Amino acid sequence: MVLEVSCYYTESSFAQSESSVTFLISKVKFEFNQAWFMDESSQDQRLPHHLNPKQFVSLDQLAELGVLYWRLNPKNYENDEELQKIREARGYSYMDLLDLCPEKVTNYEEKLKNFYTEHIHADEEIRYCLEGSGYFDVRDESDQWIRIWIKAGDLIVLPAGIYHRFTLDTSNYVKLMRLFVGEPVWTAYNRPQEDHPARKEYIKGLTGQAGVPVEAH
């Protein structure tokens, strides 16, 4: 099914400040089948792990969890006006690039294991896929895993305090742009973190309000 998708923004606990940030991005039309509920199989983490039958998750459902998504043009990221608007609106002042594959990363297996350990951050996590592909897994309000498949052109924002993890898929390669508000912060807090301030704030926002659609042009 073809969906018409606008950007979603969640205030309060999903924002970096008390003020509401409003911004506009262009509407895009595409088939969104990049998120689904996962099975509990212990097979290779790089496999899709669909339920049987498959159960996809919509952009609206992701937005209710505070997860934001944009579809951009990765071939022109250095001069992309849409990306610049997003960065300015949300205060993403720092940027770097990461090539993640066995040939380019020292202690690759150990790092991938760390990425796949369930954790939270005190700040939101912003990743823009420029090449390759991989999976971000997030917990929903019922503590079920949702797998989000990111490919070249996908920009995803995970709110502070959400339990999540990351792995490559069977392509074994992804090139990511990492964005931060101010200085980069790399600290991961492995589960359980129910008393962490970011986790408490996330739960408070999750139970208090849903994602609010932002009008686009």
Q: Which residues are annotated as a binding site for Ni(2+)?
A: 119, 121, 125, 164
CA–CA separation, 17 and 11 (whole Å): 9
Helices (H) and strands (E) in the chain, counts: 4, 14
Beta strands in the chain (DSSP E): 3-5, 8-9, 28-30, 35-37, 68-71, 92-100, 119-120, 125-139, 145-151, 154-158, 164-168, 174-181, 189-190, 212-213
Binding residues, by number, are: 119, 121, 125, 164
Binding residues for Fe(2+), by number, are: 119, 121, 125, 164
CA–CA separation, 29 and 123 (whole Å): 30
